[in-house]
Structure 1
Amino acid sequence: MMNMNMSGVQLPTHRGLYYGGAWHEPKGGYADTFSPSTGENLGRAAVANAEDVAAAVEAAHAAYRQWSQQPPSIRGAALREVAAILRANKEELARLDAINCGNPVTALMRDVDIAAQLVEYFAGLVYELRGSTIPMGEGVVNMTIREPYGVCARIVAYNHPIMFTASRFAAPVAAGNAVIMKPPVQAPLSAYRLAELVDGIFPAGIFNVLSGDRECGEALVQHPLVPRITLIGSIPTGRAITRAAADQLKNVSLELGGKNALIIYPDADIERAIAGAVKGMAFAWCGQACSSTTRLFLHEDIYDEVLEGVLEGIKAFRPGDPMNPETSMGAIVSKAQFDKIMEYIEVGKAEGAKLVAGGKRPDDGNLEQGWFIEPTVFADVDMSMRIAREEIFGPVLSVIKWKDEDSMYDEVNSVEYGLAAGIYTTNLATAHNAASRVEAGYVWINNAVSHFFPAPFGGFKQSGNNKEESFEELLSYTQQKNVYITL
């Protein structure tokens, strides 16, 4: 294929499917991929069908047994080489994501750094996949062994394409599995480039990239030689995968959506809390972050002061060209997502919430071809409103007033989500009590939205069922075997 160059970005040469250590033309054909900030056609992207998936799975299954028998040092060294490649190509990979998913290039360069750190982290843990001995009495040795599953499929989301694709393959590969990465259909270009860059580091068939739509995902879930499936995505998709995997009793891990609460107590450091409320919305990503704190619970004594501070703070985020290093806020990933967010904004108005900021396209003619939305804030929101209960996955903040602590926690926990929560207070007892009362898997005290690996990240309730970015993630890609030996 001809090497293309658009907007100063060198696009990947290969646009097919990477499996078995080689590039393949997709039996499912191709579809175009676009830049959400300009509407520009970035060329074709492979669409894997069930036949493509079957070929890739067979290649991966043939490779994993030999890989799993390699000394841990071999697996660790290969992963460290990947981390070095990520750092050496950080700007190129970030620019690919910026043009293909719409997030600001400066923020995406941090994503590449995070991916490299996570890959190195799992490279260092290869010797820790150890078992144990269990006393059974004289004449007996009993021990446990951790073994890989085989072929693992990882389906990742569009908000952090290169970070998810580059980092989420590390744990299964470190544990001795082969992995098939399915990058986001909206933004597959950085995954193609990653496959080009790491080609030859692993034995053929250990690292594979299949781009595609629903048929590709369904075929991965249904294939009998794929015993382990993970998803970063929406609750409806997670439910569909769980149902499809149930017939074969596959091991399924889900990191799903969130409708996360940020709770500010009247004794909080107000300046710090305001900064946290703005940071927690992840406006640089247009709110397209599972851990965004999109529900802001303000005590009535500080409601007006904090709301005023938040409205001032969001002025630092203005949509712009994601390729510009000075841009603080990018574009929505697609027209479909843009339309969904705008519909929620209209629903918020109709339900009686007070729109106090944003709610529209920016007044900039240079951005009219892209999917941009200003930072949006609704005040006087209550929990009967859809904008307070449903994940919007956009730059929309709902501000809710509270007075009674018990009633506030009832409202915080009333949604089906339970991914993350933030609490701002200067009282240690209040902080510990709040952390125990929120039904969420990841809790910040006097902070918001940041991930701190190797702290285990993952949700409660409908937001997920496993932990990532941690030793727990590595263990989840192993099966425990018991060996009982009579001497």
Structure 2
Amino acid sequence: MAIPDQYDLYYDGGWHAPTAGGYSPSHNPANGSLIAHVAQAESEDVDRAVLAAAVGSRVWRDVPPLERARLLREVAAVIRQNAKELAQLDALDCGNPVRELAADSHVAAALIDYFSGLVTEMKGASVPVGPDAVNFSVRQPFGVVARILAFNHPFLFCAGKVAAPLAAGNAVIVKPSEQAPLSALRFAELIDGLLPSGTFSVLTGGAETGAALAAHPKVAMISLVGSAAAGRALMREASPTLKPVLLELGGKNALIAYGDADPAEVAKALIQGMNFAWCGQSCGSTSRAFIHEDIYDAVLARIEEEAQRFQPGDPSNEATSMGAIISAKQHERIVGFIDSAQAEGARLICGGGPPADQALARGLYIEPTVFADVTPDMRLAREEVFGPVLGILRWSDEPTMIEVVNELEYGLTCSIWTRDLERAHRTAMAVDVGYVWINETSRHILGAPFGGMKQSGIGREECLGELLAFTQEKNIFISLGSGNR
């Protein structure tokens, strides 16, 4: 495994020590060991990076679209060449299992290839105004764009989220999660020199760094992958400059199973949809399961066996199926949800504590945890845990169930299980979410718009709409008639 050689800030085509000299430790959540001390960007660092990016953006925007696409495909090739190394680095830094992270690098490369192929689709439109004039619109990049990222897919988010804004001709500043920043630094090392100076930057740091980026007058657009609370805070910081935002936020996602669904398939989907490999640390996890009373007991009877497919272990081991929790703070928060569920009367089906293996005692581990007999008023049914805890609710009346599904502030994903096509379509239209699976969970389809409703986000990603979101439309009117001069 190649850990980064550099732990400073990357901007203006080079590495820079933080002006205030601040560095923060990065630890391995699997055993608590120190990995490195990483630079912390403050407002002066942000200002320097943004000014350099503003210069770089003027160079990058004038690179012909197909040439931009060619350079980005070179970046994608570098990612594929180093995919295994990047997966191992993320496993060390964020605690997710390396065998799952191996796919993240390839998904990131696919996103870059996808948006590279769309550069000629940033089209305007013409409006007929008669023989003496031409009226048309063009799309132009914003300039400097900042993307603030989450810890659960460190490299995928770093490389995948820069694809659309770079393809559109923007310069991009990435702020990786302070909990898992190493693969972003390694990415900067790997592609150093491939793009014009200032086109791509990495600023490591905490919430203050993100706030400084959001407030900077020369950052023209900002996006975030994070919690709803973080999204609201970002919008407040961005509001004085009225910059547009793109937000992929949290979810308290429902899996709905009707009485005609196969209990074995539903039980498997419940566990798969929880993303236990990631310790449930995924915004799309279906952490509220609504199971019809006709199959409720049959589904519960299969849950523990399905959950056994995910066993916590050393994230760097290729055999590990489930990793570690990102931080001690998050671990404590998840344990609090488990305690409150038990106190409120939910029935523990499996998990609920650390694994028995003493070799894991120093790490931040929690077994796959499933509660049955959860009711809508319980904390577990209402708040995003962002951990390996699933709550199962019994239902019998469809209108009431749909009302409970929709009553929360979140609206990201929903998974619906039924053999009845009409019922599936009716339910898909009724749930207030941005992304629906029917007889499926968790899959993302390249080109399909991913994003949430309500406080689960603003905007759509992984599609043409994401590319266009990083452009501004300008109208141009040309008079052709001599009488108009």
TM-score grouping bracket, smaller chain normalisation: over 0.9
In structure 1, the residue matched to 2:16 is 24
**1:353 matched residue in structure 2:** 346
**Counterpart in the other structure of 1:364:** 357
Shift of 1:248: 1.2
- Offset, 1:269: 2.9
State the match for 1:303 in structure 2: 296
1:289 aligns with 2:282: yes
**How far apart in 2 are the matches of 1:250 and 1:307?**
48
Per the TM alignment, residue 10 of structure 1 is displaced from its structure 2 partner at its CA by: 2.6
Residue 233 (structure 1) aligned with residue 229 (structure 2):
no
**Deviation, structure 1 residue 138:** 2.2
Deviation track 1:206-257 (CA, whole Å, cap 9, x = no partner) reads: 0100000111111101100001000000011100111111111110111000
State the SS of the aligned residue for 1:421: strand
1:449 is displaced (CA, Å) by 1.3
Q: 2:155 aligns with which of 152, 158, 162?
A: 162
Shift of 1:311: 1.9
Q: For 1:191, which of 168, 180, 184 is the aligned residue?
A: 184
SS of 2:223's equivalent in the other structure is: strand
Residue 483 (structure 2) aligns with: none
For 1:321, the equivalent position in structure 2 comes to 314
Instruction: Point out 4+ residue stretches in structure 1 off by more than 4 angstroms.
Output: none
In 2, the alpha carbon distance for the partners of 1:465 and 1:308 equals 39
Deviation at 1:140, TM superposition (A): 1.3
Deviation at 1:414, TM superposition (A): 1.0
Which residue of structure 1 aligns with residue 133 of structure 2? 140
Deviations 1:34-78 (A, max 9, x none): 000010100111100000000000000011112111111111011
For the residue of structure 2 that corresponds to 1:171, the secondary structure is helix
Q: CA RMSD in A?
A: 0.8
Q: Aligned to 1:86, which of 70, 79, 93?
A: 79
Aligned to 1:271: 264
Q: Counterpart of 1:247 in 2: which secondary structure? A: helix
Q: Secondary structure of 2:349's match?
A: strand
Distance 2:141 2:445 in 1: 26
In structure 2, C-alpha distance between the alignment counterparts of 1:86 and 1:308, rounded to whole Å = 43
Aligned to 2:48: 55
The correspondence of residues 422-433 of structure 1 with structure 2, limited to 5 A, is 422-433=415-426
SS of residue in 2 equivalent to 1:479 = strand
**Letter paired with 1:260:** N
Q: CA deviation at 1:271?
A: 2.6
Query: What TM-score comes out, normalization by structure 2 length?
Result: 0.98
Q: What residue number does 2:445 align with? A: 452
Question: CA shift at 1:128, angstroms?
Answer: 1.0
Tell me, in whole angstroms, the C-alpha distance in 1 between the residues paired with 2:101 and 2:65.
31
The answer to which of 239-248 and 52-61 deviates more is 239-248
Do structure 1's residue 39 and structure 2's residue 8 form an aligned pair?
no
The alpha-carbon deviation at position 270 of structure 1 amounts to 2.9
Pick from 1, 7, 29 the counterpart of residue 15 of structure 1: 7
How many angstroms does 1:195 deviate by? Answer: 0.3
CA–CA separation in structure 1 for the residues paired with 2:133 and 2:424: 50
State which drifts further: 430-439 or 347-356: 347-356
Matches of 2:126 and 2:262 in 1, distance apart? 51
State the AA in 2 paired with 1:355.
L
Number of aligned residues: 479
For 1:254-265, what aligned pairs fall within 5 Å after superposition? 254-265=247-258
Question: For residues 18 and 237 of structure 2, what CA distance do their matches in structure 1 show?
Answer: 24
**1:354 Cα shift?**
1.1
Q: Describe the SS at the equivalent of 1:310.
A: helix
1:125 positional shift: 0.8
Whole-angstrom CA distance in 2 between matches of 1:85 and 1:16: 22
Distance 1:369 1:26 in 2: 32
How far off is 1:89 after superposition? 0.3
Measured in 1, the distance between the counterparts of 2:308 and 2:450 equals: 30
Matched, 1:474 2:467: yes
Q: Which residue of 1 aligns with 2:243?
A: 250
2:434 aligns with: 441
Q: TM-score, normalised by structure 1?
A: 0.97
Separation in structure 2 between the aligned mates of residue 308 and residue 26 of structure 1, nearest angstrom: 56
Q: Percent identity?
A: 52
* Separation of aligned partners in 2, 1:268 and 1:347: 31
Aligned residue number for residue 175 of structure 1:
168
> 1:277 Cα shift?
1.3
Gaps of 5+ in 2: 481-485
User: How far apart, in 2, do the equivalents of 1:217 and 1:254 lie?
Assistant: 14
Q: In the aligned structure 2, how far is the partner of 1:50 from the partner of 1:243?
A: 17
Measured in 2, the distance between the counterparts of 1:401 and 1:92 equals: 44
2: CA distance between counterparts of 1:152 and 1:165? 13
Matches within 5 A, 1:104-143: 104-143=97-136
Residue 464 of structure 1 aligns with which residue? 457
What amino acid is aligned across from residue 435 of structure 1 in structure 2? A
1:300 and 1:188 map into 2 onto residues whose CA distance is 45
